[in-house]
Structure 1
Amino acid sequence: MSAATLLTRLYPPAVRERWGEDIGHEVSASGIRSWPDALAGAARLWLHPADWPETFTGQTRRVLTVALFALTAVTGLLLRSAEPSAAVTAGFRHPATSLWLVPLLFGIGLAAPLPPLSGEALRRVTAAAVRTLAAPATAVAAMCLTAWSGIAEHLTGLADAAMVLYYWLTLGFVAFRLCTLVAHIARTAALPTTRRLSTALLYVGTGLALAASQNLLAAVGTAPRPGPLSESLALGLLAATAISTGRDLRRTRA
């Protein structure tokens, strides 16, 4: 795969369908010096969905619905990869430090595509879920069986590294497949309205901003550590992305 093709694929689907060939030609002709501009252009367009063309009705809402769930999956992987912080918990026993989950979950609920309430539609969704999640469920089951057997505790060297790699690949695979399922459901489900979707993005961004703030405030007065600071920065960037996209989406209702 050429660099021009890869960079073109970073653009929103509707932009690729309308101008992808021109973007690819321009990147190929300009060479490596155009790569930063191409990356910046892709990022800028993802933050401005009101500027996207539509090749069919509801395309922008469908893409952003899947993107919102992908952003949530990235957040989950980020929090799992970082050193656990008492400032950002997720449990009923710690309501104050779990408060960031309230707007996040509310936003996810607002953005959820709703399949038609019919037996046939529900059967199709169930069949799609089984097909999409069977492989990741098998991978998770194998990982759990390995952990419960106690084998993982005795691994060293390359075997231990391979187990850690398998763990993270499995988590990434699960996240990818869940987003794939959302994309499949969104093809036939009732998508959220533009207003509802923009509100959902703002709520998700608010939850992530709250998590970043809680994590950052907990680090004040303690010895600076790269882990919590990096986690706060990443959560802040994800929050800014969601809030910026949600605000821009509202322009389509103007």
Structure 2
Amino acid sequence: MNAATLLTRLYPPAVRERWGEGISHEVSAAGIRSWPDTLAGAARLWLRPGDWPETSTGQTRRVLTVALFALTAATGLLLRSAEPSTTLRADVHHPATSLWLVPLLLGIGLAVPLPPLRGAALRSLTATALRILAAPAVAVVALCLMAWSGAAEHLTGLAAAAAVTYYWLTLGFVALRLCVLVARIATIAHLPTTRRLSTALLYIGTGLALSASQNLLAALRTALRPGSLAEGVALGLLAAAALSTGRDLRRRRA
């Protein structure tokens, strides 16, 4: 696969299907100097779904539904990668630290595709879910068994590094397969309306913005750690992406 093809694949699916060949040709002709503009163009289009062509009915809603859950998975991995935070924990005894979860969970709930209430469709959906999640489930069980056995606590050197690598590969694999499952469900389920999707993105963006603000304020009040600062900035960027996409989708509906 050449660089032009790889860069073209970064564009939203509808854009690739309509103009992918032209984009790839232009990138190939311009060479490496066009790569930054190509990346920036792909990022801008992902934030402006109102500009996407629709090559099939409901395509924009399907793509955005999967992208929304991919954003949620990325948020989970980001929060897990940082040191345990006292400002973003989910704790009923500390509602202030859990406030950001309220709009986030509301947004996720609004974006969930509703499965068809037909026997054959439900059986097909169940079989698909089992097939997609079987390997991640085995990986998680192996990870839990290793943790419960206490063996991980006594590992050193390369063995410890391998265990940590397996842990993160497992989390990433689970996140990826869950996104694949959402993509498969989106082809047969009742997708959320454009209005629900835009509202879901705005709720999720608000929750991420709250989490970024809480994290950065806590970091400023205490000894500033590069990890906390990077986490706050990353959450802020994810929030900006969700809010921008939600506003553009609302503009399109209007």
One-letter code aligned to 1:42: A
One-letter code aligned to 2:152: A
1:236 deviates by: 0.3
- Runs of 4+ aligned residues of structure 1 deviating over 3 Å after TM superposition are none
1:139 deviates by: 0.4
1:76-107: CA deviation from partner (whole Å, max 9, x where unpaired): 00000011110101232322101111100000
Structure 2 distance, partners of 1:115, 1:209, is: 31
Aligned to 1:76: 76
One-letter code aligned to 2:98: S
SS in structure 2 opposite 1:223? Answer: coil
1:183-237: CA deviation from partner (whole Å, max 9, x where unpaired): 0000011111111100000000000000011111112232211011111100000
Structure 1 distance, partners of 2:21, 2:155, is: 50
One-letter code aligned to 1:91: D
Aligned to 2:181: 181
One-letter code aligned to 1:120: A
Alignment pair present for 1:54 and 2:63: no
One-letter code aligned to 2:245: T
Bigger Cα displacement from structure 2, 34-43 vs 154-163 = 154-163
1:42 deviates by: 0.2
Structure 1 distance, partners of 2:227, 2:86, is: 13
One-letter code aligned to 1:160: A
SS in structure 1 opposite 2:11? Answer: coil
Aligned to 1:222: 222
Structure 2 distance, partners of 1:44, 1:100, is: 26
Alignment pair present for 1:2 and 2:7: no
One-letter code aligned to 2:25: H
Structure 1 distance, partners of 2:150, 2:88, is: 30
Structure 2 distance, partners of 1:55, 1:160, is: 49
1:130 deviates by: 0.4
State percent identity of aligned pairs: 80
Structure 1 distance, partners of 2:87, 2:75, is: 16
Aligned to 1:245: 245
Structure 1: gaps spanning 5 or more residues: none
Structure 2 distance, partners of 1:228, 1:188, is: 41
SS in structure 1 opposite 2:62? Answer: helix
One-letter code aligned to 1:246: G
One-letter code aligned to 2:207: G
1:50 deviates by: 0.1
Count residues in correspondence.
254
1:124-139 to structure 2, matched below 5 A, reads: 124-139=124-139
Q: TM-score, normalised by structure 1?
A: 0.98
**How much is the aligned-residue C-alpha RMSD, in angstroms?**
0.9
1:13-62: CA deviation from partner (whole Å, max 9, x where unpaired): 00001111111111111111000000000000000000000111110000
Structure 1 distance, partners of 2:129, 2:251, is: 34
